[in-house]
Amino acid sequence: MATRPNSKTSTPPIDSPDRRRLPPLLRRAWYGLNQAFRRRIAGTGATPDQFTALRCLTEADPKGITQGELTKLMSSDPNTIASLVERMEAAGWIERLPHEKDRRAYRIRVKPDGKRLYKQLRELAISLQASVLTVVPEREREAFLTQLAAVADACREAAEQAPKRKN
């Protein structure tokens, strides 16, 4: 019969059912936040990913950024971003303009309708974030977000260092 470690004296092994695990915690946090935001913005016609794209584009170079740059900023894959950009362009929120140096690339910029939508969505996002972060003591919030950013960076680095899948 296996004995459980005394929680006051030691931490359970990383693979122990008694220990909190990073992947399910991150997934549960992301899923809950995504669903809460999706419900808050349902009447706008936008999705959480479209908000993220508008945020990235709004905060980027005013001349616009390439689809590849948007892919990296959103921590996504090229096919997902290609489809997202097509839908957002069809909705009139963004435009693609020829890149001044690379004939194969386009610069993506936010159009006036996209800027208005972004402002509306941003208010809802800020409100939700403030609400969710109330579970972290105010004096610890910035440190928590800094640590979470470090975890996100470590996850991205691990993905980049992992061997690529062969088709």
For CA atoms 158, 132, 32, 35, the dihedral sign is negative
Q: What tokens does 105 get?
A: 């690339």
Among 15, 17, 89, 3, residue whose Cα is nearest residue 53: 89
Element holding 109 (H helix, E strand): strand 106-110
The reported pLDDT for the residue numbered 156 is 87
The reported pLDDT for the residue numbered 102 is 82
- The number of folded domains in the chain is 1
Distance spanning both ends of the chain, measured CA to CA: 45
Q: What whole-number distance in Å separates Cα of residue 101 and Cα of residue 12?
A: 55
The reported pLDDT for the residue numbered 31 is 96
In CATH, what number is assigned to the domain containing residue 92?
1.10.10.10
In a domain, 86, yes or no: yes
Query: 55 lies in which domain range?
Result: 46-131
Among 118, 99, 121, residue whose Cα is nearest residue 108: 99
In a domain, 29, yes or no: no
In a domain, 31, yes or no: no
In a domain, 112, yes or no: yes
In a domain, 39, yes or no: no
Which residues in the chain come in under a pLDDT of 70? Answer: 1-9, 167
Q: Are 119 and 59 in contact (CB under 8 A)?
A: no
Q: What whole-number distance in Å separates Cα of residue 2 and Cα of residue 132?
A: 38
In a domain, 158, yes or no: no
The reported pLDDT for the residue numbered 54 is 98
Instruction: Answer whether 0.85 is exceeded by the pTM.
Output: no
Q: What tokens does 126 get?
A: 């800020």
In a domain, 21, yes or no: no
In a domain, 17, yes or no: no
pLDDT in tens, 23-71: 999 999 999 999 999 999 999 999 999 999 999 999 998 889 999 999 9
- Number of residues in the chain: 167
